[in-house]
A = this chain, B = another copy of it.
Amino acid sequence: MIGITIRQMLYFDALAQTLHFGRAARRSGVSQPALSSQIAEMEERLNCRLFERGGKTVRMTDEAHALQPRIERILADIRDVEATARRGRPAMEGRFRLGIIPTVAPYLLPHVLPELKKQYPALQLELREAVTASLVDDTASGRLDAFIAALPLDHPGLVAQELFPDRFFLAVPSGDPAFASPPVPPESPALERLMLLEEGHCLREQALAVCGNVRPVAMASYGATSLTTLLQMVAHGLGVTLVPEMAASAAGVMPDLRIVPFQEPMPQRLICMAWRRNRARQDECVELARIIRGLDAAVLRV
């Protein structure tokens, strides 16, 4: 497809500048015959005489004169490409697309973002909030660099690193007598009034797993798509709901709302960060996970 080589262009350039095979060869760090034969080969491949060899002088042909600036430019372009690539983005710089599930994002991000901004100001974090299935899909197909969700994640090709456990609490109306004396046993009949997020949120499945024996109120009819909305519904006495620990600390300040613990062992979920197993720069993901794990545990607890 392409006949000439970079080497030939380099030798051509050296010869065009020196007009002397010996000096061009020395400048190129090869022997004179090596340079001679490469130039000859180049002329052969281009089917075009480039240099006139005289007894004492070497002269460029018109064709060579026309080619020289273009070849110089090509060489410069190649050097540029190499320099750009080789410089190697120094980890934690440039764009990083991170997905987070909705039941974690609003509670974790306020703590993570300032810390990231401080440690890695050059990192341009692009955030996407979506349910786990969507995040898994986007990450596997390269539309995201990594995501934060709750274990378990079962997708081949992804690798997950545990970040921290997130215990579940119960959010109940302030004066509800059914929860007068916490902790609450998971099999409490009062959990019949459990309200859940719409399908797709992993918190829904986790809540069902915790309170295995209840027939929860279908939330679709209420249109509750966010945990905040759900908590406001609880505050209005429409029912109760499960809140993760992170959210609970925020929910604790809402009026007419009470956060009560479950009996030991307290149910919990494991929050993790995940990315493609074959991802080029795993170090960035690992570093990001390290930072999140390193956040003062207090900020994530009730």
Q: Footprint of B on A, CB under 8 Å?
A: 1-6, 10, 45-49, 52-55, 59, 61-63, 66-67, 70-71, 73-75, 77-82, 84-86, 88-89, 94-95, 142, 156-157, 276-281
Query: Are A47 and B86 within 8 A (Cβ)?
Result: yes
- A and B contact pairs by CB, cutoff 8 A, 28 listed: A2-B10, A2-B75, A2-B78, A2-B79, A3-B82, A4-B6, A5-B6, A45-B82, A45-B86, A46-B85, A47-B85, A47-B88, A48-B86, A49-B281, A52-B279, A54-B276, A55-B156, A55-B157, A61-B281, A62-B94, A62-B95, A63-B85, A67-B81, A67-B84, A70-B84, A73-B77, A74-B77, A77-B77
The answer on a CB contact under 8 Å between A54 and B88 is: no
A67: B residues at CB distance < 8 A: 81, 84-85
Output the least CB separation between A93 and chain B (Å): 11
From A75, which residue of chain B is reached at the shortest CB distance? B2
Task: Choose among B2, B55, B277, B281 the residue that contacts A6 (Cβ–Cβ < 8 A).
Answer: B2
Residues of B within 8 A of A5 (CB): 5-6
By a CB distance below 8 angstroms, the chain B residues around A94 are 62
Hey, which chain B residues are within 8 Å of A3, CB to CB?
A: 82, 86
Determine the distance from Cα of A192 to Cα of B279 in the docked complex, in whole angstroms.
Answer: 100
Q: Assuming the A-B contacts A85-B46, A280-B49, are A70 and B77 also in contact, with contact meaning beta carbons closer than 8 angstroms in the complex?
A: yes
Q: Could you tell me the distance between the alpha carbons of A283 and B70 in the complex, rounded to whole angstroms?
A: 27
Q: Considering the chains assembled together, what is the distance between the CA atoms of A80 and B4 in angstroms?
A: 12
| A280 pairs with B52, CB closer than 8 A | yes
The one of B52, B63, B66, B278 in contact with A52, judged by C-beta atoms closer than 8 angstroms, is: B278
Hey, which chain B residues are within 8 Å of A79, CB to CB? 1-2
Bound complex: CA A52 to CA B49 (Å): 44
Q: Which residues of B contact A95 (CB under 8 A)?
A: 62
Q: Which B residues are in CB contact (< 8 Å) with A6?
A: 2, 4-6
Give the distance to chain B from A213, nearest Cβ to Cβ, in Å: 41
Q: What's the minimum C-beta distance from A294 to chain B, rounded to whole angstroms?
A: 26
- On whether A157 and B54 interact (CB within 8 A), knowing A5-B5, A10-B1, A81-B70, the answer reads yes
A81: B residues at CB distance < 8 A = 4, 67, 70-71, 74
- The answer to whether A84 and B66 touch across the interface, beta carbons within 8 angstroms, is yes
